[in-house]
Copies of this chain bind each other. A is one copy, B any other.
């Protein structure tokens, strides 16, 4: 399940065959809180951290946001950093800034050079996505284009459309996270992941959320998902597993898939 165009993030390869990268979110509301969370999380050895800036109290203060990014980078220079402002429509914390200001903030964060990747939602529309794409590309920052549905799992063909749309709009990584209502929905997400993996040339990330979906966080890599999100100190989405436990489960499965008959 390797991808044609893996993304290099500080020496970690997103989109390689086999074991996925483990990403831990930073969800604190203050600068000091984020930094202390980072210290705790870093000790647990994630491959990647995602700063969920929608949960940051001072999102309206562009300089403050850039400064936190700088402090994260400075405290953990080896760790790839993904910067995300998740919208409340897609499961994020409500933010006090407009979408134009979000785009401007993403641009400022790319310009400052402290992050390796930014996440932007497909639902913002092609025009805004192109703007973020242009700015991130100019600064060598990878772009994750994402789609979340916290209410349901759309049919597999519609999920594949989302992955495809992300690639078409220039994403370096396509991400889809959806909520299952029944175990069938978990298989739908895994099947769509596999179809997209076979079709797309960029790495993809997918998960089925919540308790029902938690198996996807452990086995999604076998169906083409290159990153799995795990709890460091605080969860950023329902169904996330603590990083130590997730890593233990991956140790078992990836060793089995790679080495045993």
Contacts and interface: CB of A to CB of B under 8 A. Distances in A.
A212 interface: yes
A222 B218 contact: no
Nearest to A209: B261
A238 interface: yes
Given A214-B257, A260-B239, A261-B211, A222 B252 contact: no
A83 to B, nearest CB: 25
Interface in A172-193: 183-184, 186-187, 190-191
B223 A219 contact: no
Given A239-B260, A256-B211, A186 B218 contact: no
Contact of A261 (B210, B251, B256): B210
Query: How many copies of this chain does the complex contain?
Result: 2
A215 interface: yes
The SS class assigned to the A binding surface is helix
Contacts of A215: 218-219, 222, 253, 257
A150 to B, nearest CB: 11
Interface of A: 1, 183-184, 186-187, 190-191, 194, 210-212, 214-215, 218-219, 222-224, 235, 238-241, 245-246, 248-249, 251-253, 256-258, 260-261
Given A184-B191, A219-B219, A241-B256, 18 more contacts: A183-B224, A184-B194, A186-B223, A211-B256, A211-B258, A211-B260, A211-B261, A215-B219, A218-B218, A218-B252, A218-B253, A238-B260, A238-B261, A241-B253, A241-B260, A246-B252, A248-B248, A248-B249
